[in-house]
A and B are shown apart, each in its own frame.
Chain A
Amino acid sequence: MTTPRRSAKSMLMIGAVVVTAGAALVVPSSAQAATPSSATTDELPARLKRACLRIPNLQIRTDNFITRLNGDASTRGSLLWLQAQIDDANAKGRTQLATVLENRLAVRTQTLEVLTHRQERLANLIERCRNHGVDV
């Protein structure tokens, strides 16, 4: 036979279990309110549009650099101009300067290749913008 004290204890335990269960059900729904998913989703079109609007200037800069690197020997910074500088340094016996310029030419040749790829990528990004309804 259970004593009155034990019965009260068990009632208390049952009550605690019910409260805990209620809290467990309520807490997730309140946590859901703090989730900023809807705000993030709402701002996605604006973020995409902003990104798309950056593309034209990036294209202009890329095109300008490609044009400059592909320029003739009189265009400062072009591959041919750099080669002319290397030849001049070698002719004057300035071997260290020639080496520095040769290294620079090697980097710049790769830069031209990378820029050409980025130019294509920018064109693809513009296409993606149009697919999302953003005209660039």
Chain B
Amino acid sequence: MSQLSRARPRARVLSIFTLALGAVSVVGLGACTSSGARGDTTAPQPNVKIAATDETVVTEPVVTQPGVTATTAAALAAVADTLPTATSVQAASSTTAASPQAGTDAVVLTEAEVAEFEQQLDEIDQLLTGVNADLSQD
């Protein structure tokens, strides 16, 4: 009887601990999923955020301050000309969303394609080595 009474609270504590452990693992997984963490070992790439606002880029003439040379002001103005406008940013954003390869004419590379490419070259290399050995007999 005394053994039974001692075992009962111990089992209850154990079961509560097990339940808590399960709950913690589920909550931890939920946190990982919501944060987007995937456990990649590669260095994290910064997210490219393109703000598609109605603001236009200020291209007002740069006032040359004392100590700022005219060359610097001209350079600033040149940089300002190259900054994207709201329209171009929206266009770029929609293009990027449509296809990640947009903007480059290069065909998408696959592991199989590169391996096959390398294999063909190895084969030709081997053939040439064999021909060389054959010709050296003469």
Taking the complex as formed, is A58 at the interface, i.e. its CB lies under 8 A from any CB of chain B? yes
> What residues on A are CB-neighbors of B14 within 8 Å?
12
Which A residues contact B (CB, under 8 angstroms)?
4-5, 8-9, 11-12, 14-19, 21-23, 25-26, 29-30, 32-34, 38-41, 44-45, 47-48, 51, 54-55, 58, 61-62, 65, 68, 76-77, 81-82, 104, 107-108, 111, 114-115, 118, 121-122, 125, 128, 131-133
Interface contact B38-A32, CB-CB below 8 Å: yes
User: Which of B8, B118, B132 contacts A47 (CB under 8 A)?
Assistant: B118
Interface contact A62-B134, CB-CB below 8 Å: no
What is the chain B residue whose CB lies nearest that of A124? B120
Interface contact A44-B111, CB-CB below 8 Å: yes
Chain B contributes a number of interface residues (CB within 8 A of A) equal to 48
Task: Report the minimum CB–CB distance from B134 to chain A (whole Å).
Answer: 7
CA distance A62 to B67 in the complex (A): 65
| 21 A–B pairs (Cβ distance < 8 Å), ordered by A | A8-B12, A11-B16, A12-B18, A15-B21, A16-B18, A18-B18, A18-B26, A19-B21, A22-B29, A33-B38, A34-B41, A41-B111, A44-B109, A45-B109, A58-B121, A61-B128, A114-B127, A125-B117, A132-B107, A132-B109, A133-B105
Q: Is the contact region of chain A dominated by helix, strand, or loop, or is it mixed?
A: helix
> What residues on A are CB-neighbors of B16 within 8 Å?
11
17 new A-B pairs (CB below 8 Å) besides A29-B33, A40-B111?
A5-B4, A5-B8, A8-B11, A15-B18, A15-B21, A18-B23, A18-B26, A25-B26, A25-B29, A29-B39, A33-B38, A39-B42, A48-B114, A48-B117, A58-B121, A62-B124, A81-B138
